[in-house]
Chains A and B, each alone.
Chain A
Amino acid sequence: MNPMVRIGLILFLVIFQTTIYYAIPALNHFVDLLIIFVIYAGLFLPFLESIVLALVLGALMDSITGGLFGLYLSIYFWIIVGLRPFVTILNLKNAHTLRLLLGIAIGFENLMLYIGTVALKQETVFSSESFRGIAFQLAWTLVLGPFLIGLLHAADRHFTANAQSK
């Protein structure tokens, strides 16, 4: 897949998650598409390209959220860096392996966002509502995540093969 297409995909995912999810209340705590993309990029794309994509995604997210600037940048950057050692060790075709990585990534993301919130406010803001939201999102991501990562990977291979044949 062309890098520009990948950046287009990032834009699409950000728009989808901030507008469609908002317009359809049932999707409020649905799959975290951005983390899925970051995991996919970290596992299947060249390291440098995945870092650039993570930074672009992080900058876009930091622009539209109300948190600290740089928080999403840091989260996505460290997920990509953290995934690197596992790329050669783990069997990436195994759905359970992907679920484990997705679970860790979502846990890390929410921990960082929580720390960011506390840093701004200097008091704890954790609640059962937040916990429920994260739990729903985690459950959906664990169920659909491996399938969506597979889909991204297949689309990527298809586009790359097409480009090479031309």
Chain B
Amino acid sequence: MFSKKMMLIAGVFGFVIVNIIMLFVSARYVSSSSASRHMGMEIVSPLQKSVTFSIHSLRSIWMHYFYLVTTEKENDNLKKMMAKCIHDGNQCNETELANERFRKILDFKHATRFNSISAEVIGKDPSQWYKTLVIDKGVSEGITKGLSVVVPEGVVGQVIDATDHYAKVLLIIDSNSAVDALVQQTRAHGIVKGDAEGRCQLNYVSRKEIVNIGDAVVSSGLDGVFAKGLLIGKVTDIVRNKSGIFQDIEVSPFVDFDKIEEVLVITNPPSQSRFR
């Protein structure tokens, strides 16, 4: 009744429909921490770790043995920098001690100490569309889905999946990421979302709020993921449209996401770490 060609076309068409349904089901119901995903990660991540370790070793050999030509000059500069750092560090200690005394006077419980685990970045999402990293610590080291990931420069992202020894981190520049944030100087409140340009947008800031270019943006702690006061980035562009109730604010992250090698995963949620 039907020709072979017709049957083939119908078969391909059927396959396309099945595929679309499966992707729809995957988007709606398959969690990022499903067993099928873990299996692939458990296979690939140990190898990624070994390769990354080899690269770091080779880089270390290069920097320590073959790059000595500039070491003496660099050493002099570093000595000068260290002297300055010691001076600055001392001043910081004095300020911190004074700060603590003032806090005690105000009966304000000071606690900005985080419990954290350091981890090494062992892989990066190869596509242009998703901005995630794979780190070499997982559930067995105390890392679970939802924990925040930082470096000294600021917020990196959030753990979205963890296997026994590895975890996947969604960067704040990914378009699926959102961080509740404040403009440090003016305390204007908004949501930092990633954009496809590798920067972030501070959304939902009322037009009435005063925000200036160069202002630092920090986490507000209200999202239950990131502790209050973690640096995110600085304001690089502001557009106040004639219509609408919000302003468009572009934020350039402090973290250079192309050069992260080690990160800290904060293991106590903000509710525990902010006020103890």
Contacts and interface: CB of A to CB of B under 8 A. Distances in A.
Interface of A: 11, 14-23, 25, 28, 34, 59-71, 74, 77-78, 81, 110, 113-114, 116-117, 119-121, 123, 125-130, 133-134, 137
Contact of A64 (B22, B41, B51): B41
A62 B40 contact: yes
Contact of A125 (B41, B121, B195, B259): B195
B148 interface: no
A69 B26 contact: yes
B126 A21 contact: yes
Interface stretch (B30-38, B207-215, B217-225, B236-244): B30-38
Interface of B: 12, 15, 19, 22-23, 26-27, 30, 32, 34, 36-41, 43-45, 47-48, 51-52, 55, 59, 121-132, 134, 160, 168, 170, 174-176, 195-198, 258-259
Contacts of A68: 23, 26-27
A19 B56 CA distance: 11
Nearest to B40: A63
Nearest to B41: A63
B126 A59 contact: no
A69 B34 contact: yes
B36 A130 contact: no
A17 B168 CA distance: 17
A64 B26 contact: no
A130 B129 contact: yes
Nearest to A60: B40
Given A23-B55, A68-B23, A127 B196 contact: yes
Contacts of A117: 129-130, 175
B168 A66 contact: yes
B129 A113 contact: yes
Contacts of A137: 128
Contact of A67 (B43, B44, B127): B127
Contacts of A116: 23, 129
B126 A70 contact: no
B40 A64 contact: yes
Nearest to A29: B128
